[in-house]
Structure 1
């Protein structure tokens, strides 16, 4: 059975439709139920073509397949089948208004309501996140933790759940406090779960993208996620719901120990149509002129898809920028550009960066770019523009693929590289799953420019449980009585080696060996370098250099990629941002530096500027807002222990670390950055907001005191804050 035949029909007449219902029904009752669902979805997508006399049979098949959300939309019969009505009513949410669950969502919800722990592997389009809202809307749990892998997903989850702020105090950052006498929802990264002071007893924990627990998925944050999971599952004894896509199985024994159900399904309410361009053009794509051919093939495809929205997966931030610019050049040379868009983000870029950035030009012609280097609120705005159909194309890396919801009909997998390695079938399936969207694009199309990777089983190890692949950092975070026999000697050796520093090293949740080396360095140089160690507030250049060199030499993971960053450059840029608040100065310095590099001798000024901006943003996001504050806080705690042992007054690096992480804004306003507000907007209004105003009252104060009337705010900045206020 070829589903494509259904799409090719101009009219699905009685005879063909009736025969197809029989085929579909047979599949739905067989081992190949997926084929039956594929036929059913194709019929729904072509509903206006279906002969009226057969529609009632298709409605019955929707019921049979458990497609109750579609059943409510497509069943227009005046005379209802009583059994069908009962089943549809049974699948309606009792917690969320106007929501109907499909068959498998209802199964999972029943497990959760019966206090079962769940580990779910399901497609992107399954609707796993709807069950998160069901848990919250039920008001069954006093304190809930939702662990998201990125700040973008924290913001997205906040927007979905903020409607429950009359029932729950919603916490998104460690600077907020839990309400002891109220219900709390903590929407945090794993790092913030560990760092959160006075976390109350947690009743329910949700870990999104739980495959990141695995030590084998090459995720540098695996250790910290294991520590957070261990804290909540073992110490808080919280009920849990772990969700992710395309997983074959989990560590043996995990489900049994925690009375959990591992639920694997391929159930989906959308179809994916694979268009294999690689096989079709294999000879050309492997020829000496393959790069030019591949790019032209892409550009022609994108132009032909101009009436539909398309996501294009690329291997790296630089690749995203260069390919999107080449595509725009192609459109201009062919005279195929549409009218310019006048997006408010462009005005913000003009004021805060430079009008010369090619990113602006791309936006004007409905081309967006999204990658892990670009600053957060820009990425979020581009996704919003795309979802609102103000952009036609979105060139992206895996940062978009791994969890940001989009509404693309088409996905182009142009590159087969992720993080310098070929993508495996798991990554391929994740990217593929971004095509199509429930109720919007029932058929998503996936265009392949490379071979499909081998379909290998993906078994997710859980290091805090099985301990076989657990790092020293995970091992020492475990309770002694939970250490398995095979790891007892290793644990005891770590306790003995760390001695008096065991607690501080454990609580820092970073390289044990690296911390030991830093302790020895500080102990050995305390007399000679006391002024370089025992500083507080804003450091001098020498003090900053000394501390960051300790971090660089000892806290990077083995084999971790640092290029184009260097030790000296990191000190210079940290000083530029932290002491001078100099984003523009840093771009200017990077532009001068890149202009002198022989590798860039064939680039024009515009290309070098694009590179300088991208590099500066990458440093800003990856190093200055994440790694450097982490190192400062770790070394701060270590030097305190050493100084106290030696009777000296320790330094205090916390102020400087916070200043970097919070982009120089007041502490009670820093959470607005995590919620997508640019720091430029916060700095314009912070003088109107009391510094001692509790974080949870900030948005209400801005609304009630009409703070947004401040004339210096750009429309883009106002809308970013207004959107948050409207949610609350």
Structure 2
């Protein structure tokens, strides 16, 4: 390569104001320097400075002017770290420190987390709330901020934790509702992936996020919303006082290989292409499969065509999965071949462990995923393969497609991300984000407060809803319930349906107290009643779901292989186990909570079912055991610690007290105290301790 000629080309692009093209060509040139292990010349450094990629400057070979820029753009991001920001990061940080409200659309490789960390370090807010789309991202964010700010802030990720003087709250939107009344003022409200507030992008959970934006937004002195690939936002109440900043500033180059033209929908050719890609690339590869059934297809293909690899940590992981989950599971057979699986249903700790192994040189080389990999974690890879152009039942849209391929490349690690497209991608379009009041929120908002932003039809629905609920509950009771944000469900209509059923079919709700019984057979009639009132989406027939709940009640007593053996009678395997456990802890617990609140006001002889709700919401595990899985510590390890009487998870205290207990014990003493820990248990414990 003629480096001087390439520099000349890049300079020409800069001269003609085509900076994106100049930056792309420069990143490719930097990749060449990395591959050939060539030092940057002062000319290269000067071009880096001109296109704003300041972190890439080599201070050893740059001019004093370029070194000055490198130092000038350094900022404190917490801990001992001072990091040089690129030009656009610095622009956003400047606007935030000036107190502006920002809705920012920036590429996946932009480096948005540095900005949040720098803001906390510089402005030292008292309360900052960070809303993330998934539990996995909650833990990833917590780990990053824990290292830097735990000496000055209480970092809260779960419900029912006592607030301190200075707090960083990190959780998905559903948990934020628990703190609405406890927080008088928020210095900064951060909404990560705020496009999910649109029904178009997340039909199931958008209303919950809109509700959080409304209720916490009113208490926030400043707001910072983040999303990728948004071109514009419609006029709406949620971002009305915010400046929209659209940034097209890439820090890596995506090298696309459109193989779908030669594959032409032939499954055999597609399989051959994937195997060829994996064979010819040494780097880490994300394989986007799109659906659960396609994950199975790709898994079978790799199991049939790849031999086990020599890796001690993966061999230990395989044995651990055999002992703790299922010998015949796809994941068990894949990990020894250097491949993992990521979807939205796996146990949280299991997903986190795989992402950790994917980051390690001797760990996983490939991960097959659904869209959970773009929503759930901030990971990227040298190679991204788009195996299927679908997202669940729907065709892949351009927004999601760009989000997936945006996982290719990473600053300082892979200048160039290689993208292999095996099915025809969607047509490239600009994405406008349309935010509006969902009908589901008719019970949460007051028509007088938002009459300028509601349609006449919505106002009519709100008034009708209020009148009906006031008739069932009484005016004062309904008003106090609405103001206190005590319902778990984001669907006002579900709450109304529960209230109606309790009021007009009260005799059918007799015996709710049987749910507090230790005899699982006593639960059956009421569980059928509960799941029928929340139609659809339980993931299995009603009788199987009720059977599953009864078996799951032994979760703390029995191992997962033992539970799976019992679930054979319902034809429920390990993958379905994850899905149904998630439905129990999330959807069933929320429905039961709303029933419990309403029945106390409606039924003549109400019985508090909170003890049963607590069990359900924690998958029948001790609460701290369930919560520790979000911290990357699986139940099978906490059970070994409990059985050795090192920590009594049934009686020891809340999550934060137990974490302090772990710190007191120390990792070395813990590992030495439990002889039943295998090698992979120890690997996981090390990862857990890193996060606390």
| Normalised TM-score (structure 2) | 0.90
Query: Residues 345 and 478 from structure 1, CA distance in 2 versus in 1: closer, same or farther, beyond 3 angstroms?
Result: farther
> Matches of 1:115 and 1:399 in 2, distance apart?
33
The equivalent residue for 1:516 is: 496
> Matches of 2:178 and 2:34 in 1, distance apart?
55
- The correspondence for 2:178, drawn from 189, 195, 202, is 195
Q: Is the 8 A contact 2:136 2:348 kept in 1?
A: yes
Matched, 1:451 2:436: no
Query: Residues 254 and 154 from structure 1, CA distance in 2 versus in 1: closer, same or farther, beyond 3 angstroms?
Result: same
Matched, 1:318 2:288: no
Instruction: Give 1:474 deviation, angstroms.
Output: 5.5
- The correspondence for 1:490, drawn from 446, 461, 464, is 461
- The correspondence for 1:348, drawn from 298, 320, 327, is 320
Instruction: Give 1:460 deviation, angstroms.
Output: 1.5
Q: Deviations over 1:261-304 (max 9, x none)?
A: 1111120110001100012333xx2xxxx223322222222222
The equivalent residue for 1:146 is: 130
Query: Helix, strand or coil for the counterpart of 1:688?
Result: coil
Query: Residues 545 and 255 from structure 1, CA distance in 2 versus in 1: closer, same or farther, beyond 3 angstroms?
Result: closer
Query: Residues 703 and 51 from structure 1, CA distance in 2 versus in 1: closer, same or farther, beyond 3 angstroms?
Result: closer
Instruction: Give 1:518 deviation, angstroms.
Output: 2.2
Q: Is the 8 A contact 1:338 1:365 kept in 2?
A: yes
The equivalent residue for 2:244 is: 262
Q: Is the 8 A contact 1:425 1:453 kept in 2?
A: yes
- The correspondence for 1:292, drawn from 257, 268, 292, is 268
Q: Is the 8 A contact 1:366 1:393 kept in 2?
A: yes
- The correspondence for 2:101, drawn from 117, 124, 128, is 117
Q: Is the 8 A contact 2:443 2:492 kept in 1?
A: no
Query: Residues 355 and 696 from structure 1, CA distance in 2 versus in 1: closer, same or farther, beyond 3 angstroms?
Result: same
Q: Is the 8 A contact 1:146 1:208 kept in 2?
A: yes
The equivalent residue for 2:641 is: 685
Query: Residues 279 and 427 from structure 1, CA distance in 2 versus in 1: closer, same or farther, beyond 3 angstroms?
Result: same
Query: Helix, strand or coil for the counterpart of 2:379?
Result: coil
Query: Residues 103 and 538 from structure 1, CA distance in 2 versus in 1: closer, same or farther, beyond 3 angstroms?
Result: farther
The equivalent residue for 1:617 is: 578
Query: Residues 118 and 543 from structure 1, CA distance in 2 versus in 1: closer, same or farther, beyond 3 angstroms?
Result: farther
> Matches of 2:685 and 2:94 in 1, distance apart?
38
- The correspondence for 1:339, drawn from 310, 313, 321, is 310
- The correspondence for 1:417, drawn from 379, 384, 390, is 390
The equivalent residue for 1:653 is: 609
Q: Deviations over 1:383-435 (max 9, x none)?
A: 11111031111111111122412241000000011120100000100110011
> Matches of 1:528 and 1:694 in 2, distance apart?
37
> Matches of 2:9 and 2:234 in 1, distance apart?
39
Instruction: Give 1:356 deviation, angstroms.
Output: 3.5
> Matches of 1:135 and 1:86 in 2, distance apart?
23
Query: Residues 544 and 149 from structure 1, CA distance in 2 versus in 1: closer, same or farther, beyond 3 angstroms?
Result: farther
- The correspondence for 2:531, drawn from 511, 529, 552, is 552
Instruction: Give 1:108 deviation, angstroms.
Output: 0.2
> Matches of 2:478 and 2:396 in 1, distance apart?
39
Query: Residues 528 and 159 from structure 1, CA distance in 2 versus in 1: closer, same or farther, beyond 3 angstroms?
Result: closer
The equivalent residue for 2:156 is: 171
The equivalent residue for 1:481 is: 449
Q: Is the 8 A contact 1:141 1:203 kept in 2?
A: yes
> Matches of 2:42 and 2:333 in 1, distance apart?
51
> Matches of 1:722 and 1:53 in 2, distance apart?
37
Q: Is the 8 A contact 2:103 2:245 kept in 1?
A: yes
The equivalent residue for 2:29 is: 43
Number of positions where the alignment pairs a residue of Structure 1 with one of Structure 2: 664
Query: Residues 412 and 52 from structure 1, CA distance in 2 versus in 1: closer, same or farther, beyond 3 angstroms?
Result: closer
Query: Helix, strand or coil for the counterpart of 2:500?
Result: helix
Q: Deviations over 1:230-264 (max 9, x none)?
A: 11112x13311111110111121558731x21111
> Matches of 1:676 and 1:350 in 2, distance apart?
19
Query: Helix, strand or coil for the counterpart of 2:21?
Result: helix
> Matches of 2:625 and 2:161 in 1, distance apart?
10
Q: Deviations over 1:455-513 (max 9, x none)?
A: 222221223xxx3xx22325624574234363433322221121136344764243323
Q: 1:221-300 alignment to 2 at 5 Å?
A: 221-234=205-218, 236-254=219-237, 257-258=240-241, 260-282=242-264, 285=265, 290-300=266-276
Instruction: Give 1:40 deviation, angstroms.
Output: 0.7
> Matches of 1:126 and 1:82 in 2, distance apart?
27
> Matches of 1:51 and 1:318 in 2, distance apart?
43
> Matches of 2:607 and 2:82 in 1, distance apart?
56
> Matches of 1:119 and 1:639 in 2, distance apart?
41
Q: Is the 8 A contact 1:552 1:567 kept in 2?
A: yes
The equivalent residue for 1:434 is: 407
Q: Is the 8 A contact 2:130 2:171 kept in 1?
A: yes
- The correspondence for 1:629, drawn from 578, 586, 589, is 589
> Matches of 2:178 and 2:210 in 1, distance apart?
14
Query: Helix, strand or coil for the counterpart of 1:170?
Result: strand
Q: Is the 8 A contact 2:97 2:123 kept in 1?
A: no
The equivalent residue for 2:50 is: 64
Task: Decide which moves more: 681-690 or 631-640.
Answer: 681-690
- The correspondence for 1:588, drawn from 565, 576, 583, is 565
Instruction: Give 1:44 deviation, angstroms.
Output: 0.8
Query: Helix, strand or coil for the counterpart of 1:517?
Result: helix
> Matches of 2:570 and 2:549 in 1, distance apart?
17
Q: Is the 8 A contact 1:678 1:717 kept in 2?
A: no
The equivalent residue for 1:726 is: 690
Matched, 1:25 2:11: yes
Q: 1:313-392 alignment to 2 at 5 Å?
A: 313-332=288-307, 338-339=309-310, 341-343=312-314, 344-389=316-361, 390-392=363-365
Q: Is the 8 A contact 1:577 1:660 kept in 2?
A: no
Q: Is the 8 A contact 2:631 2:691 kept in 1?
A: no
Q: Is the 8 A contact 2:382 2:416 kept in 1?
A: yes
Instruction: Give 1:198 deviation, angstroms.
Output: 2.3
Q: Deviations over 1:653-678 (max 9, x none)?
A: 32222223323443345431221111
> Matches of 1:685 and 1:638 in 2, distance apart?
39
The equivalent residue for 1:87 is: 69
Matched, 1:106 2:90: yes
Q: Is the 8 A contact 2:380 2:409 kept in 1?
A: yes
| Normalised TM-score (structure 1) | 0.85
Query: Alignment RMSD, CA only?
Result: 2.6
Structure 1 unaligned segments of length 5 or more: list them. Answer: 1-8, 595-610
Query: Residues 547 and 122 from structure 1, CA distance in 2 versus in 1: closer, same or farther, beyond 3 angstroms?
Result: farther
> Matches of 1:362 and 1:515 in 2, distance apart?
44
Moved over 6 A (4+): 49-54
Query: Helix, strand or coil for the counterpart of 1:395?
Result: strand
Q: Is the 8 A contact 2:342 2:351 kept in 1?
A: yes
